[in-house]
Structures are given as C-alpha cells and as structure tokens.
Amino acid sequence: MAIPRAAKTLRRTRIQEEKEEQILEAALDVFSARGFRGSTIDQIAEVAGMSKPNLLYYFRTKEAMHRALIDRVLYTWLEPLRAFDAEGNPEEEIRSYIRRKLEMARDFPRESRLFANEVLQGAPHIEDELKGPLKQLVDEKAEVIRAWAKSGKIAECDPYHLIFSIWSTTQHYADFDVQVRAVLGQEHAGDGRFEDAARFLEQLFIGGLRPDTPAT
Amino acid sequence: MAIPRAAKTLRRTRIQEEKEEQILEAALDVFSARGFRGSTIDQIAEVAGMSKPNLLYYFRTKEAMHRALIDRVLYTWLEPLRAFDAEGNPEEEIRSYIRRKLEMARDFPRESRLFANEVLQGAPHIEDELKGPLKQLVDEKAEVIRAWAKSGKIAECDPYHLIFSIWSTTQHYADFDVQVRAVLGQEHAGDGRFEDAARFLEQLFIGGLRPDTPAT
DNA sequence: CGGATATTTGACCGATTGGTAAACATTACA
DNA sequence: TGTAATGTTTACCAATCGGTCAAATATCCG
C-alpha cells in the first residue's frame, strides 16, 4: 500500500523527480494560457500525458500545483533585476537590463504570462511574494538608481516608475503577443520584432534618462 | 407566453434597456477580475442582483454577454488614440496621449483589465477586432509619427514600438495595480502614484524622443 | 526470486458549471 | 379594465469540476 502522501517527501525517487517535472511543465503550459481559475486539472493531466488521479498523487490539489510552479519560476524570473549592478556603468546597466528582460519575454513567454495572469486577477496566490521579496529587491535597486541620479550619471527621475516602465514595456511583448502580432501584421511573424523593440526601447530609455535632459 | 428571444430585438423596452445595462455593468466587474473562463454566470447574476435565468433571458449565453460587453467598451477604449492629431504639436500630442491613457488606467481599470485578460489568453474573442479596426487605426497613427520623425520634429524611431510602449507603460497601472501597490507600499494607497507616473512617463517619452537625440 | 514499497488507473463522489422548461408575475396598451 | 406581450422565478438537466478510493501494476532491493 502506498505511503500517505504527507510522508512522501522524506525520500524522493527518480520517478518522483521526473513526473513532478513533467507535471509542472504541463501546468506552466495550461496555467499561463488560461489563468488559475480557467485551468482544469484534466487539461494539465492531458498535456502531461498522464491520468488525473496520477497527477493528484504528486500534487494533492490544483492549488498545490500552482504554488509549486510559482515557487519554481519566481526566483528565475527576478534574476535580471537582481543582476542590476550598482558598481556598473548606469547606461550600460539599464541597457542590459532591458535586453535581458526582452530576451526573457521572447524565450520564456509562458512564465511571463503566468505572473501576468496572476497579478491581473489580484495576485491571490502571490501577494506575500510581492509585498515581501519583490518589494525588498525593488527598494534596493531603486536606491541604486537614485544614487546614480544624485551623482548626475543619469537624469533625476522616480526610480520606481522607471522600473515599472522597463517591466511593462518588455513584458508587453510576451503578455500581449497576440496583439503585437496582430498590429504588426504577418510580416513580423519571426523574432524580428524583438530586435526592433530592443532598439527602440534602448533609444527611449537611454535618451529619456540622459543626465542633461531637463525634467519637465 | 414569452416571444422567442430571437425576435426580442425588434423593439426595446425600457426594462430591457435598464436590465441590459445592469447586467453589462456586473459582467464588466466579474469578467475583468477573473477573465472569461474564470467567471461564472452565477457570479454575474449575483453582482447584477438578479437570478441566473433572468440574466439568460437578456443574453442567451455567457459568450453573448462577453461579446456585448467588448463591443460596448472597445470603441471608447480606443478614443485616446483616435484623438491623436497629425496637425498638432508632436510633443504636446504625445504628452496628452500619455496623460489620457493614464487617466483611463486610473478611472477605468476594469475596462483595461477586461482587454488585458482577453489578450493575455490569446484574444479568442477579439482577434478580428485586433487585426481589423485596431491595426488600421495604429497603422494610420504610425504614419503620422513617421512623418513627424521625417520632418525632424521628433527623433527617428519605430512608431509601432513607440505606441506599444505608451500602451504598456500606462495600462500597467491598471492591469498590474496590485503589484504596483505592493511595491510602492502603503503610503501610495491614494492616487498620487498616477501623478508621479505621469511626470516620469512624460520625462521619459519627451526626453527619449527629442529630435537631437542621436539614435543609438 | 519475493515481498515491500511506490506508482497508476478506473470507477466514482458531491458540488458547480452553462443552460432549459414551464409556470408565474408584471407591464404596456387598446 | 382586460389581455397579450414581456419579464421573472423555481425546478431542473447533462456535463464538467476538483478530488477520493481501492484495486491493480510497476519498481526497488535484500
């Protein structure tokens, strides 16, 4: 007879490792495309290629699946902001932050949409992460930006809204991909739009933050 | 006995007018907060203060409700972009477009989230609107921006990505409101963040598009 | 091998889903 | 005022939801 699932974590077998991986991969597919409430366990099971009860053997509830997925993805997702370096050259730091975020929008759109869905619907499952770790990280980086402005390396500006702007402009290409494609038309079906976006956003942010720019 | 609902639209009574209004208002509440698939007719009925069958007397399906809501809101939603004037002063036009979009994010966050939810999940119900009317409008305005750049009134830049940037940065304050609040903290609970955002975004876009700015 | 443990599945559960049927209540209007 | 059309509700439906259970199967290890 199977051990009660509460004791399952004592030792992790190879199969556990593999199946949980499979499941979370499928869950990312489904949750990112339909949101938590719009997703069903059956859909995830089908994508994962296993039966629903089998899925529920590894994650006892839909919520547990979602939480495990969020936990797993969140750390990676904040990596670019964490890499933001106080010692570096401001212009270059901002430029590479934009580039990194755009690359993530291009290469990990599901992760972007997972969070977008969650935040858009009131962040019922990640409120703590937003108010805790995320806020702390942003506070820290905002201080860096503020110091750059103070020392005249970039224009005086609100660092929080600067960060929000970089988030929104870059993630837009993942979250609103359908709309971007629809507006740009068929000819931008490839990844060219990401290079165009990178060029434009660098121009915008570097130009907009140039120290001699008088605050309006 | 009630007339089959197909014939209902021949003449609209006062009650029809009122109830449909009530329902769409409730539907906006629910759909914008939970997305189409995550919403239930019962929830809308409860918010609207009427029974589910009564709701279904006015809109035969959940889809019909959603479609009516989209139709009703879409035109208004594009108003700011439509107001973008080729004859006006470029700097002032961009500035006031940003301001208008920010005001909409502040005053009509539900409308913003309704579209965000829809687009985020692949725009299954509004693909035609995106590829048709929206694309046409954007194409038209992009041409205006391109002309401004050509005549040296603003910097050379990709007009499409400029428009995307204004959309994303402004709508961010509606769609990701929870996250913005979480990061800014309790002290920005009021509407002050919208003024800060307006100031920053004007600085960013006006500075970033200043004609003497060399494209990087 | 063999038995213990871990994994998988089909059948099933109560609750909720979108939607219907028909009886009942109200309104508009001649 | 009467009656036909409009509006509302109760009771209900089949399908799907998240989740359980016990039996069946696969794997591990001595």
Question: Which residue, counting CA atoms, is nearest to the C1' of nucleotide D10?
Answer: B53
Q: Tell whether A164 is within 8 A of chain B (Cβ).
A: yes
Which residues numbered 71-90 in chain B sit less than 7 A from strand D, measured from CB?
none
Euclidean distance between CA atoms A198 and A203, whole angstroms = 8
CB-nearest partner of B164 from A117, A172, A205: A172
CB-nearest partner of A208 from B127, B185, B208: B208
Residue with the two structure tokens 């006995």 = B1
pLDDT, block means (10 residues), chain B with 216 residues: 42 80 98 98 97 97 97 94 92 96 98 98 95 96 96 96 98 98 92 96 96 57
In this prediction, residues A35-62 reach a mean pLDDT of 97
Q: Tell whether B141 is within 8 A of chain A (Cβ).
A: no
Contact residues on chain B for A33, CB-CB shorter than 8 A: 121-122
- Asked if B201 and A204 count as a contact pair (C-beta separation under 8 A), the reply is no
- Asked if B101 and B170 count as a contact pair (C-beta separation under 8 A), the reply is yes
**pLDDT value at residue A7:** 41
Nucleotide nearest to B1 (CA to C1'): D5
Euclidean distance between CA atoms B168 and B81, whole angstroms = 14
**pLDDT value at residue A216:** 45
- Asked if A205 and A98 count as a contact pair (C-beta separation under 8 A), the reply is yes
Q: Tell whether A201 is within 8 A of chain B (Cβ).
A: yes
**pLDDT value at residue A12:** 67
Residues 6+ apart with CB under 8 A from A52: A41, A42, A45
Euclidean distance between CA atoms A166 and B168, whole angstroms = 10
Residue A135 pLDDT > 90: yes
| CA A189 to C1' D18, whole Å | 39
CB-nearest partner of B120 from A120, A161, A200: A120
* Percentage of the residues of chain A whose pLDDT score is greater than 90: 85
**pLDDT value at residue B216:** 45
Size of interface A-B (CB pairs under 8 A): 203
- Per-residue pLDDT band for A21 (boundaries 50, 70, 90) equals very high
A8 touches strand C (CB under 7 A): yes
**Residue type (1 letter), B184:** L
Q: Tell whether B135 is within 8 A of chain A (Cβ).
A: yes
- Higher-confidence residue of A54 and A17: namely A54
Q: What is the pTM of this model?
A: 0.93
**Complex prediction ipTM:** 0.92
**pLDDT value at residue A188:** 86
In this prediction, residues A66-75 reach a mean pLDDT of 96
**pLDDT value at residue B11:** 55
Residues 6+ apart with CB under 8 A from B45: B26, B51, B52, B54, B55
**Residue type (1 letter), B174:** A
Question: What are A151-176's pLDDT values in tens digits?
Answer: 999 999 999 999 999 999 999 999 99
- Asked if B16 and B2 count as a contact pair (C-beta separation under 8 A), the reply is no
| CA A124 to C1' D18, whole Å | 19
Give the three-state DSSP class for A192.
helix
- Give A33→chain B minimum CA distance, Å: 5
Euclidean distance between CA atoms B52 and B44, whole angstroms = 8
